[in-house]
Structure 1
């Protein structure tokens, strides 16, 4: 009986001792985890801190390693956190596969644009989607990254796909009339040189240059204002310059004057 009591006391003491040891180890581990700093991570993980320092954006200044990778060894089996743990509140952050474009969380704005992307882009660039829908063109039928290829923020030159109206025209000349997301909605600058119009309207330009009239000294956009194919009435500028009897007999200016570019009687 005494022997049994002695063994029981020894077992109970050992159990208590092991419990205290377990608690001590647990406290020690927590204490070690609590004092970990970015400098500790750098001892083994050299590339990732360097990437963050160079191109980490908010990941460089707003968080440290342990905000995302909790504890060492990680407290959870998956050491790579879900983006939605921090990024939420906008339609873009609700997309199902962040890593399709943001392939490296340590360089979050170095995007690799993979696949045919449209809806993913429009979660941020909605006004552009609205322009494309309101002004149908062939541009509406291609994926965003067909033009904005490979790198986020890349804007191609128009002449990479489109032949300019004349060899002298530059990409800046294209953009002076055409918007990339509404290319058929042509709007003219007030100082648009005649040469850009003449690249397509060569017959009208030749008639104008050969005709010694005041029209020869005018810019094309002086008469054809605001948008492509706008044709003004002669009376908009000239009023009724002839006697009422003449206008009564010849109601159309073209009855006497050939065209606005060739005023030969």
Structure 2
């Protein structure tokens, strides 16, 4: 009888031992999961960043340019201290911006002082080379058409990015009724001596510089006096047309032979040798 009881006990132990081991392993697995959950994750989401940096997010939303649309917070800032190194928190601009002359200049934050608003630039004084790396056409114009403007730094006039100053801040107007837009009708800012104008240029703008000619035209009663200046001086400064381009050959060949130049009789294209009627 004793022997039978012992056999039954041994069989019970054999049956219960696997169950005990299963429960024990589950317990340790649970402890491991709790310990893992207690460890802080180094992976951050944009929503995590905004909790502390709401003002930065607002800046990116309003003025972030491609930093808003092309990257996320963690696209630049790959973690948060002390989980990651300083280099990963604030990366070099060249990590993304490379391959163009502008990116090789260095000192990015001299102009781009806030990477969250990269086009909201505060320009340093006496800059030219960094500007021309993005605006080569303007550099070409000032070089090919020398003027006093070519001797200035870009930031002498453009004290902030996209700031276009009024000409009249430095230059005296040609007449008292001139406004800034009148200046640029003739003078391109980066080649101001290359005077050009459109077919709608009013006579008063020409008269601002050519007062004596304007006075002459006002004093005579001729067909020339009734024309716009640009009718003859077509959209190019200092262009003087040949009289024959409008008048052909109005006189007999003998007269032309005797007086081959029109101004031998008509004196001036603006007065035609006639005085104002009294």
Write out per-residue CA displacement over residues 224-246 of structure 1, whole angstroms, 9 at most, x where no aligned residue: 12321222222222122111111
C-alpha contact 2:147 2:193 (8 A) present in aligned 1 = yes
Correspondence 1:214 to 2:223: yes
| Alpha-carbon distance between aligned partners in 2 of 1:61 and 1:255, rounded to the nearest angstrom | 72
User: Which aligned pairs between 1:1-265 and structure 2 lie closer than 5 A?
Assistant: 32-34=41-43, 36-73=44-81, 74-78=83-87, 79-149=89-159, 151-264=160-273
1:46 shift after superposition: 3.8
Give the secondary-structure state (helix, strand or coil) at the position aligned to 2:41. helix
| Structure 1 pair 27–143 and aligned structure 2 pair: CA distance change class (3 A) | farther
1:28 shift after superposition: 7.3
Give the secondary-structure state (helix, strand or coil) at the position aligned to 1:247. helix
> Which position in structure 1 is the counterpart of 2:18?
none
**CA radius of gyration, larger in:** 2
| Structure 1 pair 141–26 and aligned structure 2 pair: CA distance change class (3 A) | farther
| Alpha-carbon distance between aligned partners in 2 of 1:241 and 1:199, rounded to the nearest angstrom | 33
1:65 shift after superposition: 2.0
The count of aligned residue pairs is 239
Q: Which runs of 5+ in 2 are unaligned?
A: 1-33
| Structure 1 pair 105–241 and aligned structure 2 pair: CA distance change class (3 A) | same
C-alpha contact 2:125 2:156 (8 A) present in aligned 1 = no
| Structure 1 pair 188–65 and aligned structure 2 pair: CA distance change class (3 A) | closer
**Superposition TM-score, scaled by structure 2 size:** 0.80
Give the secondary-structure state (helix, strand or coil) at the position aligned to 2:125. coil
Q: Which runs of 5+ in 1 are unaligned?
A: 1-23
C-alpha contact 1:209 1:216 (8 A) present in aligned 2 = yes
1:47 shift after superposition: 3.1
